[in-house]
Structure 1
Amino acid sequence: MLARALIAAMPNFKNKLTVATAKPSLLKNKQQLQTCLALALGLLPAAHSFGQSQEPQNPPAAPQQKAKPEKAPTAPATKAKTEQLERVEVEGRASDEAVRRASTAAKIVIGREEIERFGDSTVGEVLKRLPGVTTGGRPGRGGDIRMRGMGNGYTQILVNGERMPPGFSLDQLPPDQVERIEVLRAPTAEYGARAVAGTINVVLREALQRRLNDWRFGIGEERGIWTPSVGWTRNDKLDDHGGAYNLTLNAQQVSHRDDQNTSALTHSLKTGADSLLKTQGQSEDERRGLNLNLRLQWKLAGGDSLSIQPFLVASKSSNSNVFSQTRTPAFGQPDASGAPKPLNPFDNARIDGDSKFEMLRVNTQWTHRIADDSRLETRAGLGLGRSDSHSLRQEFVGASSTPVRTQDDKTNSQDRSWSLNSKYSHQFENEHSLVAGLEGEGTQRDQTRVCQQNGQGCPGLLDFGDDLSASTQRFALYAQDEWSVGKQWSFYAGLRGETIATCSSAANYQVSNRSSVWTPLLHAVWKFDEKSRDQIRASLTRSYRSPQLQDLIAKPAINSQYPCPDGQLCGENAVNYADRMGNPNLKPELATGIDVAYERYLSKGGILSASVFYRRISDLMRNDIRLQTVPWASVPRWVSSPQNIGNATTMGLELEAKFRLDEFLPEAWPVSVRSNLSLFRSSVEGIPGPNNRLDQQPRATANLGADYKLRSLPLSLGAGLNWTPAVTIQQTLLTEAHNSRKVVLDAFALWSINPNAQLRLSASNLDPLNYSNGNITTTTEQIITTDSGGRSYTSWQLRLELKV
């Protein structure tokens, strides 16, 4: 009734306000007038939404003349003198821009509205539109996520503030399960300092008091292959005392068919002769996945709270790869290029495989309010993971159906993980907010492998054994102080110490690695004046990149193109088909960084920003290919292994503009525009230029997107363009790598059938381009040029979204 009365009174509200302001006898106290105005304005959004949820009523006739002053009631004015107005608080989630603006450390927040906008099938496709974020893999497919163009390992990926166990990828997490995404451009003590490029924290769906029962039914298509998906989100109260739950379930099937074309040209520097090996084939992959996220939370006595969050991921995949190869000159003919001959030359091959991955993680969080200004937060988590994979490779000569060589590989991995974090926070009266915490984390992997070549055990690696056990233990302590000085300055100072110990063992060897890092962190924000929408950020930080477990394990892997004879040691191989082996003596990379940003927050929502960053990296890790004497071969073989090669620097400029078009052009339509441009530059010492850049870092990346909700129809339209130019990297003294440019055009149309149903049509990679990557390897005797690539395709998805 209150809501309807407010709506009905809206046409007269302005006139009555004018009368009340003109007659001091009605409201003599100016403070009471301001309180009434604030209360009325605070209730209007709630009254409007409440009124929309009711059945339609006949609207009152609009007044045709101004209200007369003599009819204004005087009783409320008299009552206002004697009665004290009660304080009314209207709670609601702050906007993404408000959270970003209030944070002392540079942070970008992406909420549900932005996540759902394009109907993306992977989290990587959502992230690619953010400033400075690039993704690996084929256009429109997501892939590994990189900030500021840096390669794998430089970006810290968290889920609910915690690192996920081995084998988990964000591509396995559908956007339906994500509440928001937080992107931190500089490290903080609380989230960790393993973030040279930055941190991406994916927050899963949260339990709210508001009832929610949403269904999503989708069907996708790419290259004639249909892929269905279904999602369900349920949110409701557990009790009348603040308990609530959220259940999000998603099941999907993803299928791809890709063409593969590769070539390897070997040129002899001694004879000038060439040898060309070409491979053509097609691969098909199918994955069926189930994701479940449940969050239960309770409000306890004394202001405490407790939450339990099980998180389940299960997937089953199958793949097949059929290809043929031709060589000029043909196998068996004289070859003056000096390219090593494979042990068993074949004309065509087939690889069939299947795998299963299961992960269950249970996190608990207890928040204890010690006093009004201090609290203790404790988080604990347990995780179990299991993966099984099987692959069968068969090689044939001519039209024969009998393989000349088979390799059957079966691998079983079991992972166990735990985490225990405790954080104490205290709010002082002098605008200081102190946070201190302890963290512990451990992972254990036990791996069993059974490998057979032509029905016998795989040669070459028998001395190393097929079973492997590896573990990682991490402990950290940190403290941070965040405080405000007046209305314009905010500061953040933090210190974090972290120790990581890894250990791996197999049949005849055992290796261990231990590293400790202290990282001081400073952040500051200055507002131009107390009410200004402009502010400047600055950060001085230290961060690091720790070696991955697989990089530390010294167990080698032999290239399948140059396998070992049955029961014998391996022969020679080619530099572009090198074996792989870890390095237990790797040291972590350390980086000292500076970040400075200018931000302007717009009145209609949105932001204009410009930021620059600089990183000085020591003990840079990179895979290095060397000719080595190894125990699994009778002659020296080319082996690729990670090494600390020296120092590097990287810097960049990131520009972002997110606004409504009528903010700058009053007569324009209210089109939402999102654009950003990032420029990168880097240099690695000890490697000759001009392309001695950080691995996989492009020179730039850009995004341009816009969307608009039509006034005449319940239809929203939008499109976005993602661009990454071609890049060439001098990886080592021997190898130069290159990737083709990536241009991805996405679009969506959203039709609101009614307030509880909408239909979304999405298209990714509307203008598909061919892609390619490769490298040039130069030795004292040869130049080997390798290229691979193929076509990309448009992916379509139609999704029905229902609120039940």
Structure 2
Amino acid sequence: MKKLLPLAFASLGVAAASGAAAQSKPADPVLPQVTISGGRQDDMVERRNSTAGKQVYGREELDRNGDNNVGDVLKRLPGVTLGGRPGRGGEVRMRGLGSGYTQVLVNGERPPAGFSMESLSPDQVERIEVMRGPVAEHSARAIAGTINIVLRDGYQVRDVQVKASDRLEHGRHSPEVSVTIPGKQGALNYTVSASFNVSRQQDRSQTRNLDTEDNGDLAKEQFLQSESAGTNKGLHLVPRLSYKFENGDTLNFQTILMHQQGRSNATTMLEQTVPLVAAGEPRGPEYNLAQQGSENDVTFLRGFGNWVHRLQGASKLDVKFGFGLGKRDSDSLRYQYNKTGALLDRFTDTDSIRDKSVNTGGKYTSPLGTGHMLAAGWDLEASQRDQLRVSLDKNGKPQFADSGENLAADTRRIALFAQDEWDITPQWSASIGARWEGIRTTSDRSAGSIANTSKVFSPLLHAVWKIPGAEKDQVRASLTRSYKSPTVQDLIAAPAQSRQNSATSPDRTGNPNLKPELATGLDLAYEHYLGRNGIVSISGFVRKIDDLIRRDLELRQTELGLRWVSAPFNVGKARTSGIELEAKFSLAELMDDAPQIDFRSNYSRFWSKVDGIPGPDNRLDQQARQTANLGMDYRLKDIPLTLGASYNWTPLVRTQVSDKQRVETSRKRVLDMYALWRFDSRTQLRLSANNLLADDATGYNLVYANGLASQAASLNPTYTQWSVRLETKF
């Protein structure tokens, strides 16, 4: 097999070269024709020509499965996984790393606080760029990598597009309608994308809490059964304007507005079985029945703009500017009852958050010769968060010391970068750059003012070698420095109280003394391109991390008594490495008279180790050991029907979080299928089924401290989602 692969690759390269030679025409020896196109490169061409490793997924990939949100698109991409159970989204992870290791950008900028992939429709996205290593142009807060979501580009849309769909899950309908309207008035081009959706969900969960003393005696056993149901309404508006001046300058401005309203109700039944204490009196549960109603109202507005000014020669100045506004209000009312139905307590929680930010930046590019480009620029950002949290019991008593106090946090960020890209020879290309970034966070609370400052210098080197004699083969290498800064919540978070405080369900708070995690990384990759959109690649990476941030548990004396509290700390060093395989091709491009079948597959294997924590599972933040995706699309020749399926697999993840805590999450298997019927070139109907296997999601949390083993085992059912979507153009 090892001998056949190089022979097959060489044969394919010879065949492709022969075909290209047969179709080419001799160039005019006197006046060679030069074609200038304002369009963007093909996705695979852009990936191949990029010096830094970058995967590009355009409208073809975004439209393939008829996904309802960008998160569903990302879960099928190589090396990308989603935390959480199927159908409920979750944190985006590259190389299995969560908790902020993956940088997510929208139009090259950090999205507003609280932004989630589930709130953005693929209809409003032009392409997704996945970068495995940091580049000087973007922030180096990307230890695992960067995902840049580029919103819909007005130049690419020519027709009015309307899509109407309905999704059915567990007997609950979730309709959605979206429209994209392009236009042009003289030198002004514009596009307006809008969508409205109603999402209805129902969830159930079961949890068993068990505390065991060193002598084997049972200290506590609890069974919780919870059921919740909610409705969320969302409105998204994404207008884009582009104006071209007579001197060739271009002004672009785009906003993304999201408004969501949600209502939910939850019921929890608690049964507790415990032995008698020494005094002979049984210890009862905190409650037997809890009922809670919640409401939330969220609005985000993010503006992106840039002015492109052409200078003498081929030099260019691109000045960026933007702003962000966010408003989040949530209220909940919780009642707790005993076995006889008597009211034990009532909790009222109100949380009001206001975010605002402003940013500017720019990039100057100038050619230094043929195939040689110098770029330099800056980024400035200022953001502010004001938060008011009130938590009262039925007697009006505050549940924590800062209840009702304003929490104000300010963040200032400044960055300078420079980058030199050079096609040294027809075979060698290199990019060398550096980025310096400083972040300062300050806050004021009743407990006093705190401040945290971090400064990081990141040298970056990327290189590509096109193998002589094999025009479709190339090797990539990158040596970079990246980092992960503490979040505002990790630095200055007001205490978040747990209603059932225990070692497996602790209160959470921040730590103002956190330092950023620093990572030195090496990436290597071999790529072989097949046909128009095919590729076979193998890549590997290593990251060495200093000042790793982990949350630790401890018993603290608080205003509510002795309670378990989780807080973040810098715990030491860590190392992670991995191998990623990808194969993507169209069968018709490789074989004569083959059916129109497109194959997509990828597999990743990861290793990690955290120093100072006992093994064997002392891994990084719930990093999976493996993950794989397999997909296929079949376009029938005789009828206008396309069938497709994709399968995502992640095995059980077991992590030794600290010397006293171990966490497990169950394997994840997600099977999605679709059928697409094209009535004509402008109208099509799509039927989809997501999460067909509907595996239960289970979790296990074990904490051993102070002579007590506390265990929490949970089970959460998942559901298949059926959907139908009608798409048309005018």
Output the TM-score relative to the length of structure 1.
Answer: 0.85
1:395 aligned partner: 336
Partner of residue 296 from structure 1, selected from 241, 263, 266:
241
Q: Check whether the contact 1:107–1:185 (CA below 8 A) recurs between aligned residues.
A: yes
Kindly provide the amino acid, as one letter, of the partner of residue 478 in structure 1: F
What is the 5 A alignment of 1:420-499? 420-462=360-402, 466-499=405-438
Which residue of 2 is the match for residue 354 of structure 1?
295
How far apart are the structure 2 equivalents of 1:337 and 1:472?
A: 54
State the SS of the aligned residue for 1:176: helix
Deviates more, 1:372-381 or 1:665-674: 665-674
Deviations 1:554-606 (A, max 9, x none): 532332124xxxxxxxxxxx322322210000000000000000000112421
SS at match of 1:601: strand
Q: Indicate which of 463, 466, 471 corresponds to 1:524.
A: 463
- Corresponding letter in the other structure for 2:497: I
Quote the offset at 1:428 in angstroms.
1.7
Among 478, 488, 496, the alignment partner of 1:549 is: 488
In structure 2, what is the Cα distance between the partners aligned to 1:215 and 1:129? 25
Match of 2:722 in 1: 796
Q: Structure 1 pair 658/349, CA: closer, same or farther in 2 (3 Å)?
A: same
- Pairing 1:654–2:580 present: yes
- In structure 2, the CA distance between the partners of 1:411 and 1:757, relative to structure 1 (3 Å rule), is same
Q: CA deviation at 1:296?
A: 0.4
Provide the C-alpha distance between the structure 2 equivalents of 1:124 and 1:534, rounded to a whole number of angstroms. 31
Tell me, in whole angstroms, the C-alpha distance in 2 between the residues paired with 1:755 and 1:211.
14
SS at match of 2:311: strand
CA distance in 2, matches of 1:339, 1:95: 74
Give the 3 Å change call, closer, same or farther, for CA 216–627 of structure 1 in structure 2.
Answer: same
Contact map agreement 2:277 2:283 (CA 8 A) in 1: no
1:300 and 1:802 map into 2 onto residues whose CA distance is 34
SS in 2 for 1:162: coil
Task: Measure the CA separation in 1 of the matches of 2:498 and 2:306.
Answer: 46
Q: Is the 8 A contact 2:112 2:302 kept in 1?
A: no
Aligned partners of 1:158, 1:92: CA distance in 2, in Å?
A: 23
**2:111 matches 1:164:** yes
Map 1:731-770; keep pairs closer than 5 Å.
731-770=657-696
The 1:614/1:115 distance shift into structure 2, 3 A limit, reads: same
Structure 2 Cα separation of the partners of residues 340 and 629 of structure 1: 25
CA distance in 2 between partners of 1:209 and 1:538 (Å) = 33
Cα deviation digits, residues 194-248 of structure 1 (max 9, x gap):
0000000000001117632000000110000001000001112121x4x211110
Specify every segment of 5 or more residues in structure 1 that has no aligned partner in the other structure, as ranges. Answer: 1-31, 37-80, 563-573
Aligned partner of 1:500 among 416, 421, 439: 439
Deviation >3 Å, runs of 4+: 83-93, 335-342, 662-668
The equivalent residue for 1:598 is: 526
Whether the 8 Å contact between 2:276 and 2:283 is mirrored in structure 1 is no
2:15 corresponding residue in structure 1 = none
Partner of 2:647: 721
Partner Cα distance (2:404, 2:88) in 1: 37
Confirm or deny: 8 A CA contact 1:259 1:791 kept in the other structure: yes
Higher strand share: 2
Q: Where do 1:130-141 residues align within 5 Å?
A: 130-141=77-88
What amino acid does structure 2 have at the position aligned with 1:491? A
After superposition, the Cα gap between the structure-2 partners of 1:554 and 1:411, relative to the gap in structure 1 and judged at 3 Å, is: closer
Higher mean C-alpha displacement, 703-712 vs 160-169: 160-169
2:454 counterpart of 1:515: yes
Give the deviation of 1:85 after TM superposition. Answer: 9.1
8 Å Cα contact 1:268/1:782 also seen in 2: yes
Other-structure match for 2:567: 641
Secondary structure of 2:139's match? coil
Q: Is the 8 A contact 1:208 1:236 kept in 2?
A: no
**Whole-Å separation in 1 of the counterparts to 2:304 and 2:31:** 46
Match of 2:615 in 1: 689
Contact 1:260 1:789 (8 Å CA) reproduced? yes
Alpha-carbon shift at residue 549 of structure 1 (Å): 0.4
Q: Which residue of 1 aligns with 2:545?
A: 617
Matches of 2:194 and 2:249, distance apart in 1: 28
Provide the rounded CA distance (Å) in 1 between the counterparts of 2:521 and 2:205: 41
Please give the alpha-carbon distance, in whole angstroms, between the structure 1 residues aligned to 2:34 and 2:416: 42
Question: Corresponding residue for 1:49?
Answer: none
TM-score, normalised by the number of residues in structure 2:
0.94
RMSD (Å), alpha carbons: 2.2
Aligned match of 1:121? 68
> 1:524-603 alignment to 2 at 5 Å?
524-529=463-468, 532-553=471-492, 555-562=494-501, 574-603=502-531
* Secondary structure in 2 matching 1:457: coil
1:246 equivalenced with 2:197 (yes/no) = no
Q: Secondary structure at the match of 1:212?
A: coil
| Equivalent-residue separation in structure 2 for 1:620 and 1:309 (angstroms) | 37
Residue 276 of structure 2: aligned partner: 334
1:30-84 deviations in Å (ceiling 9; x for gaps): xx96359xxxxxxxxxxxxxxxxxxxxxxxxxxxxxxxxxxxxxxxxxxxx9x98
* Residue 607 of structure 1, aligned match among 520, 535, 556: 535
**2:33, 2:521 → 1: CA distance?**
50
1:94 paired residue among 23, 26, 41: 41
Work out the CA distance in 2 between the residues paired with 1:588 and 1:211.
Answer: 46
Matched residues in 1 for 2:350 and 2:237: separation? 28
Question: How far apart, in 2, do the equivalents of 1:403 and 1:680 lie?
Answer: 51
Conserved? CA contact 1:209–1:244, under 8 Å: no
Q: Is the 8 A contact 1:373 1:428 kept in 2?
A: no
CA distance in 2, matches of 1:273, 1:289: 47
Q: Which AA in structure 2 matches 1:449?
A: R
SS at match of 2:679: strand
Select between 278-287 and 528-537 the one with higher mean Cα deviation. Answer: 528-537
CA distance in 1, matches of 2:41, 2:323: 32
Alignment-derived partner of residue 71 in structure 1: none
Q: Distance in 2 between matches of 1:508 and 1:202?
A: 39
Helix, strand or coil: the match of 1:387? strand
> Is 2:204 the partner of 1:259?
yes
Task: Quote how far apart the aligned CAs of 1:711 are.
Answer: 0.3
Question: Does structure 1 retain, via aligned residues, the 8 Å contact 2:400–2:495?
Answer: no
**Matches of 1:302 and 1:511, distance apart in 2:** 50
Q: Distance between the aligned counterparts of 1:297 and 1:561, measured in 2?
A: 54
Note the alpha carbon deviations across 1:514-548, whole angstroms, 9 max, x for none: 01000000000000127610000000000000001
Taking the aligned partners of 2:113 and 2:261, their CA distance within structure 1 comes to 17
Compared CA separation, residues 352 and 98, structure 1 to 2 (3 A):
same
Q: Contact 1:210 / 1:237 at 8 angstroms: preserved in 2?
A: no
For 2:279 and 2:407, how far apart are their aligned partners in 1? 40
Distance 2:106 2:27 in 1: 43
Deviation at 1:323, TM superposition (A): 1.1
User: How far apart, in 2, do the equivalents of 1:85 and 1:200 lie?
Assistant: 39
Q: 1:91 to 1:264 in 2, by over 3 A?
A: same
Paired with 1:419 and 1:758, the residues of 2 have a C-alpha distance of: 41
Aligned to 1:219: 166
d(CA) in 1 for partners of 2:303, 2:661: 44
How far apart are residue 301 of structure 1 and its match?
Answer: 2.2
CA displacement, residues 321-366 of structure 1 (integer Å, 9 cap, x when unaligned): 101010112xxx6147999968x72111011101010111222210
Contact 1:251/1:290 (8 A) holds in 2: yes
Identify the residue that residue 310 of structure 2 maps to in structure 1: 369
How far is 1:91 from its partner?
5.8
Q: Give yes or no for contact 2:661–2:702 (8 Å, CA) kept in 1.
A: yes
> Letter of the aligned partner of 1:395 in structure 2?
Q
Give 1:437's aligned amino acid.
G
Aligned partners of 1:275 and 1:339 also within 8 Å: no
The question of 1:270 aligning with 2:270 is answered no
Count of matched residue positions in the alignment of Structure 1 and Structure 2: 707
Cα displacement (A) at 1:669: 1.6
Q: Which residue of 1 aligns with 2:624?
A: 698
The structure where helix makes up a greater share of residues is 1
Q: What is the CA-CA distance between 1:272 and the residue it aligns to?
A: 2.6
1:158 partner letter: L
Q: Deviations over 1:736-759 (max 9, x none)?
A: 000000000001111001111100
Equivalent residue number for residue 383 of structure 1: 324
Amino acid across the alignment from 2:242: Q
